[in-house]
Amino acid sequence: MYSRIMKFFLVFLVLFIATASAQTFSGRVTSSFYAYERADSIDNTSTHARGYQGFQFDYRTKNILLRTFGQVNSDFNTTLDGDGVLRMYSLYLQWRNFANRVDLKLGRQPVFGGISSGTFDGASVQLKAAKWLRFKAFGGGLLPATQEMKLIDDLDKNFLMGGQISYIPNNDLIINASYNLKRQNRLGYNTRRSDEYGNVYTAFIEPREQEYQLVSLDGYWSAKKNLTVFTRHDFDLNHDQLTRSEFNVNAAVNEKISLTGTYLFRSPLLPANSIFSVFNIATNSEVEGGINYRMNQKLSFYVNSAAIMYDADNSLRTTLGVTRGNNSVQYFLRRGYAGIMDGFNLSSWYPMLGGKLLPNLMISWAKYKIDEDVEDSINLFSGSLGVTYKPVRSISVSSQVFLLSNKFYEKDYRFIMRLQYWFFMRGNK
């Protein structure tokens, strides 16, 4: 039934395109080639070459927008699950500014705002109730794991819904309250397990149904021309606990000096069976301050430092850097519970031929220890060298080579090449 609904929706979109009077039709087509070598075990490696074909199209009339964004990929060396499948990240029809108050979206769409984020198959509506009051509501099914153009099974166990209320008394103050409910039931799978005697057998793992129910309150205030304040607070209704609390202040002392300050409280919320559950999870608080000095339009210096406070230990994070045009150099250090690290980042872009040719270089080096009691440090080097060529406004060709080297991967090479084509057409008015 769900597949029939999706097919009906696609047919409707085709008929709509054929009959509507187009204002503009624009888009981007991207072809990518990616090659890398993967360490399957200590002594065995495998080489992979993958191709990606992506597209993004926008079809607009005065009040209607049809937006699509999708991709097809394939591995040239080994057949992998999902190869050749059309993955649709978005495909929705939007009716904008109906009666100067309502925006309506139907189809596969992303949602952002307050506590809500993700992509779903369904509907969303935004209402301008007054100049100072706005409402937003959305709901629909989660995407299938392959992101194919079909609706997910067991919609009552795999859905996302929520809403947001925005209070905007003036241009300097915005207050948002949001709600999000997500329910997910992952498919079971077979895996290999061993019993107490070492005998290997096949076991069926059936993940339990998960539900996340969160509310959030956030606000933005431009107190003065050179002073802004942002705050956000997230609360988990199912576990009855605060998961995030944030205060952020940005102030410009003068035309050259600006200051930032942040306080952040986090109580990590991990999905069941998450790989991150193998690590120690604890609430933590973070206080960060920074200063930026802009000497002129091209040259600026900055420093940021943060103290992260855990239940029984603390960590320090500091970054110093300088930027000049398209070039930057950065030094960073980490101390305390999160480990010990010192390193440098360097990045450079050098426009040539009037901006048509853009070589770029990025280098990172770091020395780290996971604990101060460990005697030997581990060196890590990574870098990339690339170039982008744009002969005309609508076409660009780029390629990049990546290198990673450390104690565990002596040499890890990766290569990517990408061709992009943009277009814009104006139709009948």
* Pair of tokens at residue 421: 């084509």
The DSSP 8-state label assigned to residue 237 in this structure reads: T
Residue whose C-alpha is closest to residue 93's, from 76, 108, 111, 74: 108
Q: How far apart are CA 67 and CA 88, in angstroms?
A: 11
pLDDT given for residue 193 in this prediction: 84
Q: Where are the domains of the chain?
A: 2-426
pLDDT of the chain, 429 residues: tens digit per residue: 445 545 555 555 555 555 555 588 899 999 999 998 876 666 777 788 989 999 999 999 888 999 999 999 888 877 766 677 889 999 999 999 888 899 999 999 999 878 888 999 999 999 999 999 999 999 999 999 888 888 888 888 999 999 999 999 999 999 999 999 999 887 777 888 888 887 888 888 777 788 899 999 999 999 888 999 999 999 999 989 999 999 999 999 999 999 999 999 999 877 666 777 777 778 899 999 999 999 998 999 999 999 999 888 899 999 999 999 999 999 999 998 878 999 999 999 999 999 899 999 999 999 998 777 777 888 999 999 999 999 999 999 999 999 988 887 777 889 999 999 999 988 765
Q: How far apart are CA 348 and CA 354, in angstroms?
A: 17
Neighbouring residues of 176: CB distance < 8 A, sequence distance ≥ 6: 113, 114, 164, 165, 166, 167, 216, 217, 218, 219
Give this prediction's pTM: 0.84
For residues 216 and 204, the answer to whether their CB atoms sit within 8 Å is no
For residues 182 and 163, the answer to whether their CB atoms sit within 8 Å is no
* Pair of tokens at residue 44: 């065995």
| Annotation: CATH topology of 2-426 | Maltoporin; Chain A (2.40.170)
